[in-house]
Structure formats: C-alpha cells, structure tokens
Chains A and B, each alone.
Chain A
Amino acid sequence: MSTSLSGPEPATQAPGREPVRSGLPRKSRTARNHAPITATGLVVKVVLLGLVAGIAIWAAFPLIEAELWVGLAILAVTTAGLCYLYLTRRHIPAKYLVPGTLFLIAFQVFPVLYTASTAFTNFGDGHRGSKDDAIVAIQSSSVKQVPGSTEYSLSIATKGDPTAGPLVFLLTDPRTREVSAGDAAGVRRLDAGQITVSPTGKVTAADGYTILNFGQASARSPEITDLVVPTSGGAIRSNGLSRAYEGKAIRAYDAGCDCVKDSETGKTWTADEATGSFVAADGERLAQGWQVNVGLRNFNRVLTDPNISGPFFGTLVWNFAFAIGSTGLTFLLGMAIALALHSPRMKGTNLYRVLLILPYAMPSFAMLLVWRDMFNTDFGLVNNLFGLGVDWFGETWSARAAVLLVQLWLGYPYMFLVATGALQAIPRELTEATSVDGASPWQTFRAVTLPLLLVALSPLLIASFAYNFNNFNAIYLTTEGGPFPADNPTVGATDLLITYTYRLAFGAQGAQFGFAAAISIFIFAIVATVSAISFRRTRKQEEVYS
C-alpha cells in the first residue's frame, strides 16, 4: 500500500509550492467553482495534457503494430477520459482521485493480478513459451550434419533485385570445385563456363545471377535461414553467409499423433498437455516444454509436499519471532533514545540526532554484507574485538541473535525519527499535569506518553511488521537462511518463509515462476490477515484515546 500512496506524492508536493510563490490564494473557499483562469495555470495545463496526448500516441504505435486492439482501446479511453476530466470545470473530487487510482492500478492491482494468474500455470524454465515455440526449438536443435556429406562454400545470389529477388544458394564443392545452384526446388549443376570461382572456393560472379555482398545478404537474413535446399539425404542449409552444409532434422513433429519422432532411434515423445511437455513411453521427457494451465497444482504442491509442509510450522514460528523481534526491538531502542533526547535537560541534541541517523543513511544492502563479514568466526570484527570464538552463523541461536542484532542496528534510526516526531506532538501540559498530580515519571510514561505514542505509531509498527515478515535481504545477504541441520539442506534455522520458498522455487532445476507465484499468494494471505487484525485493534485503541 505504501508504494501506491507514495507514487503521486511528488506530484502533490511540486504544485504545493505554487501558492507560496504567487502569494496567498484569494477567496479560495468562495471561488470553489469559479477559480480565475491564470495564464500560467492554463499553460501548465495545456503542456501537461499535451504530454499525456503525446505519450498516448507514442504508446499507440506499438500496440497497433502488435494488433493488441484491447490495449489500444484501453489507452484511447483512458486518454480521452483524462482530457475530459481536466478540461471540464466539474468533477472536482475525481481530479484528485484519478491520478492515484491510475497509479494504484498500474503498479499494484495489475502486478497482483498478473502474479495470481501466473500461479495457475507452470511458467518457468523449460516452460516459457507456446507449444509451437517448443516444437520449433526441438526440431531446430536436432539438425545434424549428414555423415560424410560435403561442406560447401556458399555465395548468396539472386536472379532479380538484390533486395527482393528470389534467393539462390551458389554452392561450391571444395574437392571438385563444381558449382551448383540451389533453391527451394532443389539443386542443379551450373556450367563451369558461366561462373568465376575465387581461390577460396567462393563464387564471385555467375551469368544471370547477382551475387549479394555480406551487407545485402545480412539484410535478408531470415530468408537465408529459412531457405532449405532439398537433397536426397536431407537438405542443404546455410551456415552463416559463406558456408553451407547438408543437414537433417533428426526429430520432427507429427501433428497426426501429436508427437515428436526421432528418425535415428525411432523413439517417440507424445505431447502431454497436462504438464506441457513431450513425454516418451519410458517416462523420459524432452527438455523443451511449453506453458500450460495447471489449475490448482501449484497450490496443492505447497499444501501436500512434505518438503514444504513439514518444516512449514517451525519456519512460520521463527518468521513471526523475527518480524516481531525486529519491529519490537527497533521500536524499544528508537523510542528510548527519542525519550532521552526529548528531555529538556539534554544538551547537544542536534549532534546526537545526526549521529543516530547515520545507520539509516547508509544503504542497507551494503551494510548487511558488512555485518555478515563482521560476524565471521575467525576474521570478523565482533569476535576479534571481544576476544570471542563464537561461531555466530554456525549455531542456531547465535545466528538468530545475530540477524536480530543487525536488524536492530539497521532499523532503530527509523523508529527514533518517528518516535521523536510523535513525542513532539504530545502536549507538554499533559505530562506536566501528571507530575502536578504526583505521578512518578514511569507512571506518566505508562499512562500518558506511551498510549499517545502508540496511537500515532501503531500503523507504522504494523507496516514495519509486514515489511520484516518478508524481509528477504536481511536473511539472504547475511546467513542465507543458515545454519542448516546436517541432515536437511532445505531449511535453515534463520530461514523466513520467503527465503525458504525462494530456495524451493529457484534453487532446483531453474526458475519455477508459477510455483513461486502460488507461494507468494500464501504469504500474502498470512501477512494480510495479521495486518487486518492489527489495524482493527488499533482502531479500537484510537477510539479509546482520541
């Protein structure tokens, strides 16, 4: 959610400066429907709408070329709608809501729907394209040179126009230096008197033919690749622009039996639409498969595979502990420092604030790697500094403590910042009143400051929890999920659900996007449930204190 909200933010801030520049808005309330049209405003509006139209036109061409009429219709309707909306004086609320909604659709709703739809397919390595793609790949990767056949020197020629005339291969046999012309109809010998052959064997001139140079030939590359000259043993194909060979596709697709046949071994692989691959009778499957709809199979696998469901509960418990621990510890430390700096007796607070924010200013990606090296048993700073010999990432509990420590260091400046802000919003009269009533500082904090802080910070804490629940980098860049039990390399002591399933989906034979999408839907469900419950509780709390 936070990304969708932050999307239009820059846009809302930029024009926000404008009233300051041009003085205070006059009669803004009464002029609700009849704001004066200023020249600058008009120019900005025209320029921006022009930009929209320009982008729409730019985006339209490829859509037309790809014949994606639905996409084109959506583009046209959106653009027309936008122009109407901002040229009319009506529909004020829509003017505010539409940009955010568009962002929401483009960056949140669309990806979510796309992920959800992927979860029902076997999309992944070996199953990326269509069945036709797979057949082409199988056939073209089975082309072998006919044993003992001749390798020809090749010149590409045409009888007509170099850019459009029908192509002919001029083939020189390197042993006999005999030249033949080959096209889709077959090969025929050319008379030696009509042709000039260079010492390397290439035909440089031939009566009635125009020889294409590399530049001309490569412009017609697809035609050259597709030109197959039939022979008795197979077919002559080009290999680049200067050589040709007699090759034969060993495997061919037969639409009649919907299968691939190998002409050398006689083996057949029949198409299996359920798995999107060609499978032989003995269970062997061809590597090149295609994308099919597999229904709920990915979801079934998550629920029934003992490799996944077995360690699931333990991982889930640690996942919660990690998310709650990261959020709770950073909050406690951040708040404690904020309270200390909030005290009026504190001096040099600005300096402290700058220093405390430093960890926040460094890229967490790099810091995680630095911390990983600092926890090295023999070379790490932590052990060397304290004279310890702890195998930090080698033992379950020390590894868990280490990742939480790293999280604490990375996360407390944020909590410190937001707690400072929230503290300053709490009126001093309230705390002063409690001290007048004779409350101890602890009682004041428990009864007044903390509840008011939590009202302001609860949503942030929930967001932080949801973020840390899926904090892939924090684990993957430090322990990589380890330490792993010696007898089970699939799930480690610090694995979160996201790192664990990443290993399952992308660790084995290449990427399995469909499976990964199914898992991410499960994780989404868990995080959404936890967040929804927390938000509901927060609302109740707000009702009590506000």
Chain B
Amino acid sequence: MRIRTAGVVAVLGLALAASGCGDNSKDEPAAKESPKAASGKLVIWADDKRTAALKPFAEEFGKENGVTVEVQAVSKDLQTNFVTASQQGSGPDVVVGAHDWIGNLVQNGAIDPVQLAAEQKSGFNETAIKAVTFNGQLYGVPYATENVALIRNTELAPEAPKTIEDLVAAGKKLKAEKKASEILCLQSGQNGDAYHVYPLYTSGGGYLFGTTANGDYDPKDLGVGKPESIAAFQKIAKLGEKGEGALKRSITGENSIATFTGKKCAFLVSGPWAIADAKKAGIKYDISPVPGFAGGKETQPFVGVQAFYVAAKGKNKALAQEFVTNYVTKPELAVALYQAEPRPPALTAAFDQVKGTDPDLAKFSEAGRNGQVLPAIPAMAAIWDPFGKAEAAVIGGADPAKTITAAGKTIAGQIK
C-alpha cells in the first residue's frame, strides 16, 4: 500500500516536473510553427482599449484581402513584452504604442522604418510626423496625439487665467472663501512628475535637450543643470509648499483628478484621459492652455503620439507594411480609434471629421499647438526619475540651484 502511494506521489510529481521541464522549450513551438500557419496571417499587438477598437477594422481588412488578422491584447508592459518576444522570434507583425518607445525599439532592432508617400505624409499633423521620425527615418504611422492642458471648473473659475499668477490669485481667493481646498491640482507626489510640470519648466525658460542641425534632440546638449533650468525651478519653487502652496507633493497621480472632480480644486493640469471622469462627475469645465509665468515664455507641454509600428522580425512583414501604410492612413480607422478613447486623431481629415462633435478636441489641440514632441531618444529614460525627484525636492522647499545641479549631474552620468 505504502509503495503504491509512494508511486502515485512520485508519478504525479514527475508528471508536473516533466511539464515544468517542457516549459523551457515552450517558446520554440510558437516560433517554429508560425511560419507554416502564417499563410496570409497578420498578428497585431495593442493594449486592451485599442484592441477592441481595432478588431472590426482588422477583420474587415482581412476579409477584403483574403487574409486572417489577429488582434491580441497585451494589457501589461506591452513594450517590454514586444521587445522580448521579438528577440525570440515569437513577436507580432504590427504593434501599437506610444512614440517615445521608438528609441528603445530601434536600439533593440525590434521595428523597421516605414515608407510613406509624400502625399500620405502631408495628410498628418506635422507634429505627429515629427514625433515618429527618429534619426531621420519614419518609424511609425501616427494615429493620435495627446498633451496636457488646463482644465478648469467653470462654476468656480469662469475666466481662463492668463498667467500662472492669475491662477494662483483666483485659487487662493476660492480657498479663502472655502469654495475649494486646493489652489491647483498638478500632480507631483513625493517623487515628482516631470511630464506634468514640464509646461511650467518651459515657461520658466528651461529645456531638456538641445536640437541638432536636422531638428533631432541632441543628448549631448543637456539642459537640466544649466542656468536656464535653475531659473525655471526658482520660479517653480515660489509656487511650492514654502511659497504660494499651489504645487504640493501631496497631490499625486492617484488623487489629482479625483480632487478636481470632487470640486476641491478649480484647476487641473491633465490630458484628454481626465475628461471622461469630469463628465461622469457632472463638472462644468472648460479647457485652455496651461498658463505660464507672467513675463515668462509660453508654456510648452509635451506632445505624445500613438502610432502603429512594423515589427522588424515579424513573419509577415509585407502584409504588415501594407496594413500600416495603406490602411491605417485611412480616416475611418482613426475615427473609430478616437471613439474608443478620445484623443485627437493625428490624421488631419479624421480630426476635422470629429472636431465638430467634440469641442474639447480642438481645445486640447490648441493647448498643444506650442508643444514639444516628447523626446524619443533613449537618453530620455535617464531624465524622468532624477528630474521628477528634483522637482519634488524644490516643491518641498529645497534650494533650486543645488538640487537642479545635482539632478543634471546624475542625468549626465547615466547618459552613455
């Protein structure tokens, strides 16, 4: 009896063990079987929301052309998963993602340039085309742009402030009247948020990277730590906890939109993704560009672009190119993607089509008119963390000159 039991234990165990061992080679079948099955099959990876919007169009593309199109949702770490899978040869043919991935995807040889005809290119918003251009090559076909703007509660603040000082004055008045508890909802958190504070940084005169002759960002010309950046942060410090109290580390990415929709602050710096919450909460709102410092430069928010990429190691590159260059460039698809998530379409024709029904879109796009394309160079990865922490320290009352110089040194040390 005991032996039998032992046998059962052991066999069960080794069945599991064998399956465990089998796992090591599991990636291989995916890589090896696909070429056979890939007869006219196109695989697209996108995040959850976009997958749903893409599906009907992908199916239509498949039906029209007698091929199968599979849209697969990768809900977490799409970029990392794509790089890893493409290295192993089990990646998709097309991937959908943000343009600031390009630097990393290119250094890992995961995407190929796309060739758009001149008349196709001219159909797109200029900034969007600039964003997907890297080292002089076009690496993706953009479909939507996004940038932050000032969203204000029109019941509390009927007038759009012209300068950040006006905003602070209006916010302080509301606070004194107990109509709001915060002056401004601009998320920072204990470790800062470079993306959201960037408009103020540029208004104060700061920059991240200089540009080379051909208009690309130049990692050798780092603006953080330069006198301009210190001047900008000195202005930001005045808005901080030891100054006006408009910028606070207690306002984080988790609570800034909720505080705004809870009517505790009249001003919110956020992007198109905040609109759904504001609508749900029944807030009467209006959108205007983020105001700059009085006498300072114009604010320049980061402009991000969502794009379709052709995988370098895809099984069906010809079909992927066909889909990305000739199908994604159609306004119908851009409109459908807009309906799945309301970000301004990059295709001018699609933008004009939805602009009429959605006034917010034009306002966001106006706020981003001056915007700077979020740098896609790999060096940008070294900026986020030290820059954010320096911002948080300055907001908390640290000396701007010392803090920003140290941040600049750290960043320069991390850029290869």
Is A533 at the interface (CB under 8 A from chain B)? Answer: no
In chain A, what residue has the closest Cβ to B15? A51
A82 CB contact (under 8 Å) in B14, B23, B325 = B14
B17 touches A62 (CB 8 A): no
Across-interface contacts of A243 in B (CB, < 8 A): 117, 325-326
The interface size of chain A toward B, counting residues with CB under 8 Å, comes to 120
Q: Which of B6, B9, B117, B135 has the most CB of A within 10 A?
A: B9
Is B123 at the interface (CB under 8 A from chain A)? Answer: no
B15 CB contact (under 8 Å) in A55, A58, A85, A241 = A55
**Cα A377 to Cα B416 with chains together (Å):** 38
Q: Tell me which residues from 22 to 60 in chain B have a Cβ below 8 Å from any Cβ of chain A.
A: 22-26, 28-29, 32, 35, 38-42
Across-interface contacts of B83 in A (CB, < 8 A): 125, 128
B14 touches A62 (CB 8 A): no
In chain A, what residue has the closest Cβ to B13? A99
B255 touches A373 (CB 8 A): yes
The interface size of chain B toward A, counting residues with CB under 8 Å, comes to 102
Task: Given A215-B65, A489-B390, decide whether A44 and B8 contact each other with a Cβ distance below 8 A.
Answer: yes
Is A487 at the interface (CB under 8 A from chain B)? Answer: yes
Q: Chain B's nearest CB lies how many Å from the CB of A388?
A: 13
Task: Given A86-B7, A288-B106, decide whether A489 and B385 contact each other with a Cβ distance below 8 A.
Answer: yes
Across-interface contacts of A214 in B (CB, < 8 A): 40, 65-67, 319, 322
**Cα A71 to Cα B112 with chains together (Å):** 33
Q: Chain A's nearest CB lies how many Å from the CB of B255?
A: 5
Q: Chain B's nearest CB lies how many Å from the CB of A155?
A: 13
**Cα A59 to Cα B25 with chains together (Å):** 7
Convert A27-69 into 0s and 1s, putting 1 for each residue whose CB lies closer than 8 angstroms to a CB of B.
0100111011110010011001101100110110111011010
A59 touches B21 (CB 8 A): yes
In chain B, what residue has the closest Cβ to A245? B115
B252 touches A41 (CB 8 A): no
Q: Chain A's nearest CB lies how many Å from the CB of B140?
A: 13
**Cα A3 to Cα B326 with chains together (Å):** 51
Is A378 at the interface (CB under 8 A from chain B)? Answer: yes
A85 touches B393 (CB 8 A): no
Is B191 at the interface (CB under 8 A from chain A)? Answer: yes
Of A132-140, A335-343, A360-368, A426-434, which binds chain B?
Answer: A132-140
A489 touches B406 (CB 8 A): yes
A486 touches B402 (CB 8 A): yes
In chain A, what residue has the closest Cβ to B137? A141
**Cα A82 to Cα B15 with chains together (Å):** 10
Question: Could you pull out 29 A-B pairs where Cβ atoms are within 8 angstroms?
Answer: A8-B16, A33-B3, A55-B15, A56-B22, A59-B21, A66-B28, A82-B18, A86-B14, A95-B6, A100-B13, A102-B17, A102-B21, A106-B21, A133-B109, A141-B106, A141-B135, A213-B66, A214-B40, A238-B318, A240-B321, A240-B326, A243-B326, A288-B109, A391-B396, A393-B190, A394-B249, A479-B190, A503-B385, A510-B104
Query: 9 tightest A-B contacts by CB?
Result: A99-B13, A137-B109, A240-B322, A215-B66, A486-B398, A48-B11, A102-B17, A214-B65, A508-B414
Known: A8-B16, A99-B12, A102-B17. 7 other contacts (CB 8 A): A11-B9, A11-B12, A12-B13, A102-B20, A238-B318, A242-B326, A486-B398
List the interface of chain B (C-beta within 8 A of A). Answer: 1-26, 28-29, 32, 35, 38-42, 65-67, 80, 83, 87, 103-104, 106-109, 112-115, 117, 135-137, 182, 190-191, 248-252, 254-255, 259, 312, 315-319, 321-326, 378-379, 381-382, 385-386, 389-390, 392-394, 396, 398-399, 402-403, 405-407, 410, 413-416
